[in-house]
Amino acid sequence: MLKQQLQQKLQQKLSPAQIQVIKMLEVPTLELEERIRQELEENPALEEGEEMDKENDESDDDYSLDDGGNNEDVNFEEYMADDDIPDYKLKANNSSKDDKHEEIPFSVGMTFHEYLIDQVALLYLNEKDRLLTEYVIGNVDDEGYLRRMPEAMVDDIVFQAGVQTTDEEMLRIIKLVQLLDPAGVGAINLQESLKLQLERKEPTLTVLLARRLINEYFDDFSKKHYEKILRSLDMDDEMLKKVLNEIIHLNPKPGNAWGGNILEKSMSTIVPDFILENDENNLTVHLNNSNIPELRVNTTYNEMFQDFAGNKQNQSREMKDAVMFVKQKIDSARWFIDAIKQRQNTLLTTMVCIVNFQKAFFIEGDDTYLKPMILKDIADITGYDISTISRVSNSKYIQTEFGVFPVKYFFSESMTNDSGEEVSTREIKQILTECVNNEDKQKPITDEALVAELKTKGYIIARRTIAKYREQLNIPVARMRKEV
């Protein structure tokens, strides 16, 4: 049975401008520069330059496309005619056509996969083997490993390239790829990669023992069961040290040995979002806006819209559509400019608050001066929501005289020592790291021993908490830290 009824609801919805501001907060400086370039290309109403004084900004608020008649057509093109613009303003270069323009070539180098393909060209292969070899190389990841089974590649290459092959033929091609440089490339796992690298070394006694260890006792080696290896291979501690040293100097990720091209390297460069200056303990925070241009609404579009808004009575349907397009682009440009300004203001306000909160650290540069600080602390001071503080601190960096730090580095939980004083967990992690660094590597400190050590320093911490901090610091368990 159908039934009609009225119901009132109260919903909270974000406007497009608010969504744009939220997205702007999340992106770091490099992505913001790319976002601005993209917006400049897509929106003709947005341009670079300082914003002009706005006299009639509110005129468009009262403009309705439903007002007025459509008796006469308005010449829309006259506003965009190039004939009204002097020729010299249309040229960006006033040099002679006969001038020589010499550019310095920029070499981007060769990628890892291109390096492998180049080696294939030096081999004497028929057309089918060459296609199969290039296909296998295409399945090698950036670390140099072949993560796919031969059977799966046999099926895929039939559909992708129309090449019929067998599992045996594919295995033969994989063996061929494993002969390429760097040594260990094309292996399916770490054990095979180490084995391939050892096979290219001169067969000395140490290398032969290393090969046997990798082939027969790899699981014990990975778990550092050295006593079992000593008994099984019948060697002394000195020889085991030599064998382990031989294996340790192999490359666990052969693909990473290839430097790659300069563009790939530049992608990993960290560009700080904030710059901190220290003038005799007077700290000043600046936004890193060196490559972010000033933005404004295009004056031609603004004037065009104002002219049409003042002549609403004599517009055709087509002209109203054109005016709607102009209005949408102008509104989008203004929203974008306002979002950039609000982003910059929010970032600066939040970072200034963090610097003031952790002022002792930024003056001394010592982790022991870091105070316990969580997102809510900064949110309470700035008046922003916790989610806003999280977006500001995520993927952002600050440049100080002690180095470049991620903003999230300054947030840490607190705990109370035996004196009743609140200390940062980062201070405890630093003590934990020092204990591990100074331990006897032949008898590493267990988590229980670390609990006792920290207790002597006044920190009462449970063993599971020590294990959690150790994992956060990427410190393995005591057995995995043991050395011969």
Q: Domain 414-484 belongs to what architecture?
A: Orthogonal Bundle (1.10)
Extract the tokens encoding 298.
């295009």
Instruction: Evaluate if residue 210 carries a pLDDT over 80.
Output: yes
Given this model, what pLDDT does residue 221 score? Answer: 81
Among 338, 314, 333, smallest CA distance to 60 is for 333
Q: Cβ contacts of residue 167 below 8 Å, gap of 6+?
A: 150, 151, 154
Given this model, what pLDDT does residue 420 score? Answer: 56
What residue segments make up the domains of the chain, in order of their start?
20-39+270-412, 112-180, 187-260, 414-484
Residue 311 phi, psi (nearest 5): -130, 55
> Measured between alpha carbons, how far is 61 from 224 in angstroms, rounded to an integer?
74
Residue 282 phi, psi (nearest 5): -95, 105
Return the higher-pLDDT residue of 258 and 298.
298
Residues forming beta bridges with residue 274, ordered by sequence position: 287, 398
Residues forming beta bridges with residue 416, ordered by sequence position: 422
Q: How far is CA 426 from CA 175, 201, 309, in A?
A: 49, 45, 61
C-alpha angle with apex 145: 144 to 149, nearest 5 degrees? 150
Q: Are 269 and 345 in contact (CB under 8 A)?
A: no
Among 406, 310, 388, 405, smallest CA distance to 350 is for 388
Q: Are 377 and 389 in contact (CB under 8 A)?
A: no
Residue 152 phi, psi (nearest 5): -70, -40
**Confidence category of residue 353, pLDDT binned at 50, 70, 90:** very high
- Reported as type and span, the H/E element at residue 400 is strand 397-400
> Measured between alpha carbons, how far is 74 from 476 in angstroms, rounded to an integer?
76
0.95 exceeded by the pTM? no
Instruction: Evaluate if residue 74 carries a pLDDT over 50.
Output: no
Q: What percent of the chain has pLDDT over 70?
A: 76
Least confident of 18-22, 113-117, 306-310, 439-443: 306-310
Given this model, what pLDDT does residue 352 score? Answer: 92
Given this model, what pLDDT does residue 15 score? Answer: 62
> Strand 414-416 and strand 422-424: pairing?
antiparallel
Q: What percent of the chain has pLDDT over 90?
A: 2
Exposed, middle or buried by CB within 10 Å (0-12, 13-18, 19+), for 194? Answer: buried
Q: How far is CA 462 from CA 211, 422, 449, in A?
A: 43, 17, 11
Which letter, b or e, does each residue of 88-125 get, where b requires 16 or more Cβ atoms within 10 Å of its Cβ? eeeeeeeeeeeeeeeeeeeeeeeebbebbbeebeeeeb
Instruction: Evaluate if residue 106 carries a pLDDT over 50.
Output: no
Q: Are 224 and 283 in contact (CB under 8 A)?
A: no
Instruction: Evaluate if residue 132 carries a pLDDT over 60.
Output: yes
3-class state of residue 46 by DSSP: strand
3-state helix, strand, coil in the chain (%, to 5): 55, 10, 40
Query: Which of the 8 DSSP states describes residue 54?
Result: P
Spacing of C-alpha 74 from chain mean position: 51
Mean pLDDT across 62-82: 40
Alpha-carbon Rg for the chain, nearest whole angstrom, is: 33
Residues forming beta bridges with residue 70, ordered by sequence position: 314
> Measured between alpha carbons, how far is 137 from 173 in angstroms, rounded to an integer?
10
The dihedral sign for the CA sequence 34, 38, 39, 44: positive
Mean pLDDT across 429-438: 81
Given this model, what pLDDT does residue 251 score? Answer: 84
Instruction: Evaluate if residue 98 carries a pLDDT over 60.
Output: no
Q: Are 355 and 276 in contact (CB under 8 A)?
A: yes
> Measured between alpha carbons, how far is 374 from 372 in angstroms, rounded to an integer?
7
> Measured between alpha carbons, how far is 247 from 182 in angstroms, rounded to an integer?
16
Around Cβ 392, how many Cβ atoms within 10 Å? 26
Among 295, 310, 388, smallest CA distance to 349 is for 388
Query: Which of the 8 DSSP states describes residue 142?
Result: T
Among 99, 168, 185, smallest CA distance to 132 is for 168
Return the higher-pLDDT residue of 100 and 35.
35
Return the higher-pLDDT residue of 67 and 208.
208
Instruction: Evaluate if residue 297 carries a pLDDT over 60.
Output: yes
Among 391, 447, 459, smallest CA distance to 419 is for 459
Average pLDDT across the chain, whole number: 75
Least confident of 235-239, 263-267, 422-426: 263-267
Given this model, what pLDDT does residue 26 score? Answer: 76
Mean pLDDT across 379-383: 90
Around Cβ 472, how many Cβ atoms within 10 Å? 11
**Confidence category of residue 403, pLDDT binned at 50, 70, 90:** confident
Mean pLDDT across 369-374: 82
Q: Cα torsion at 251, 253, 254, 256 (round to 10°)?
A: -110
Given this model, what pLDDT does residue 59 score? Answer: 41
- Tens of pLDDT, residue by residue over 449-459, are 888 887 787 77
